[in-house]
């Protein structure tokens, strides 16, 4: 187990180097640079432009800039935002709880709805129940996130007026962040209606972000269950006179979960990609929106740092999933 963990951790190093190169190169391939973007439509004089280029070090050869960046990384310095002049890491940790809260809600929704729906579809294979669950899942999977988000906003916020359109909480409430999770902080603040407001802001973005993972998990659970339900040990469980809930919910599901857990792990990457769109649609102040904004502003340090941190999170989650996989499947315990 220790060897396995060390090996996996060692693998992170080349991955990080790769991500840093890609992040560094790609943002520089876009036309324009941070100084142009800051100057805006009024433009900037050639002398002033050269002065600022030199001040930020953008005039040096690209390889020197990269090595300098790498040197900073090794010292835990992700650079400073050209726009806000705050360290990238500080900004990240201010905004990350918002994304984490949204992602946790979305993945919880996706797992706790997707797995049972997949099980029901498998048990009722071929029936109208199965077909409607799988049909809906296919539609959900195929739906572009931004469009689906807008449809929900039009229906629930626009026509029905049930939920707010954007943000994390009504502007009427103000309290200092304690955990960074709005649901918890609003409860801690003790203000009347704060929790309700935070929750109503969270509902639509969570549904939008959960849709694709939910569809994938439901489909994967169904096919894994169908395979497992035909296994000999399921027949054995039934021959022992166990109630169907136990045969399906314990003996079959436990085995079906093995591939499903891998799928859930892979969905974390999808979730991060989805967060960028979802946060932009709902003006959710998380790292997705932060990244999109900084791409538009060519805020090099933020895009590079943000990509590295997101990649780090995805790799960490996948590592956790691999460890969990061993716990669930006794045959491959390391």
Shortest distance (Å) from residue 241 CB to another protein: 3
**CB contact set of 22 (below 8 Å; sequence gap of 6+):** 307
Number of other CB atoms surrounding residue 93 within 10 Å:
13
Degrees, nearest 5: CA angle 228-321-233: 20
Residue 334 near another protein by CB under 8 A:
no
Residue 131 near another protein by CB under 8 A:
no
Binding mask 246-265 for another protein (x = CB under 8 A): -----x--xx----------
- Collapsing DSSP states into helix, strand and coil, what is residue 43? coil
Give 174: exposed, middle or buried? Use CB within 10 Å, 0-12, 13-18, 19+. exposed
Residue 322 near another protein by CB under 8 A:
no
Q: What burial letters (b/e) apply to 304-316, b meaning 16+ CB within 10 Å? A: bbbbbbbbebbbe
Name the segment binding another protein (CB under 8 A); options: 14-22, 45-53, 231-239, 277-285: 231-239
Cα–Cα distance between 76 and 78 in angstroms, integer? 6
Shortest distance (Å) from residue 242 CB to another protein: 6
Residue 20 near another protein by CB under 8 A:
no
Shortest distance (Å) from residue 323 CB to another protein: 17
Residue 188 near another protein by CB under 8 A:
no
Residue 80: beta bridge partners?
87
* Of 14 and 330, CB closest to another protein: 330
The two three-digit tokens of residue 320, written as one number: 């956790």
Number of other CB atoms surrounding residue 250 within 10 Å:
12
Identify the residue among 240, 283, 296, 316 touching another protein (CB under 8 A). 240
Identify the residue among 7, 26, 233, 296 touching another protein (CB under 8 A). 233
Identify the residue among 131, 142, 236, 283 touching another protein (CB under 8 A). 236
Shortest distance (Å) from residue 331 CB to another protein: 5
Name the segment binding another protein (CB under 8 A); options: 57-65, 86-94, 148-156, 226-234: 226-234
* Of 27 and 224, CB closest to another protein: 224
Cα–Cα distance between 324 and 319 in angstroms, integer? 9
Identify the residue among 171, 172, 239, 245 touching another protein (CB under 8 A). 239
- Identify which of 183, 215, 219, 207 has the alpha carbon closest to the alpha carbon of residue 106: 207
For binding to another protein (CB under 8 A), which residues are involved? 231-233, 235-244, 251, 254-255, 328-331
């Amino acid at each position: 187990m220790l060897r396995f963990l060390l090996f996996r951790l060692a693998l992170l190093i080349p991955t990080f180097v790769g991500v840093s190169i890609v992040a560094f190169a790609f943002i520089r391939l876009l036309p324009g640079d941070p100084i142009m973007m800051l100057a805006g439509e009024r433009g900037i004089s050639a002398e002033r432009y050269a002065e600022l280029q030199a001040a930020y070090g953008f005039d040096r050869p690209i390889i020197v800039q990269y090595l300098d960046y790498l040197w900073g990384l090794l010292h835990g310095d992700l650079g400073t935002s050209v726009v806000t002049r705050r360290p990238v890491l500080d900004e990240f940790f201010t905004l990350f709880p918002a994304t984490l809260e949204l992602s946790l809600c979305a993945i919880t929704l996706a797992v706790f709805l997707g797995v049972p729906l997949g099980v029901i579809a498998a048990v009722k294979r071929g029936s109208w129940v199965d077909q409607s669950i799988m049909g809906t899942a296919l539609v959900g999977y195929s739906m572009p996130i931004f469009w689906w988000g807008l449809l929900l906003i039009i229906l629930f916020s626009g026509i029905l007026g049930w939920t707010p359109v954007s943000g994390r909480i009504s502007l009427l409430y103000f309290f200092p962040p304690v955990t960074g999770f709005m649901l918890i902080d609003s409860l801690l603040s003790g203000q009347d209606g704060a929790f309700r407001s935070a929750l109503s802001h969270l509902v639509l973005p969570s549904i939008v972000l959960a849709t694709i993972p939910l569809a994938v998990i439901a489909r994967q659970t169904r096919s894994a269950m169908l395979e497992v339900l035909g296994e000999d040990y399921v027949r054995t469980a039934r021959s022992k006179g166990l109630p169907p809930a136990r045969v399906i919910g314990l003996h079959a599901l436990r085995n079906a979960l093995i591939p499903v857990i891998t799928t859930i792990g892979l969905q974390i990457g999808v979730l991060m990609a989805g967060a960028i769109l979802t946060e932009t649609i709902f003006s959710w102040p998380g790292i997705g929106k932060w990244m999109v904004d900084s791409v538009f502003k060519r805020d090099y340090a933020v895009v590079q740092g943000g990509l590295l941190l997101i990649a780090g999170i995805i790799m960490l989650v996948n590592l956790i999933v691999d460890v969990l996989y061993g716990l669930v499947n006794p045959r491959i315990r390391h």
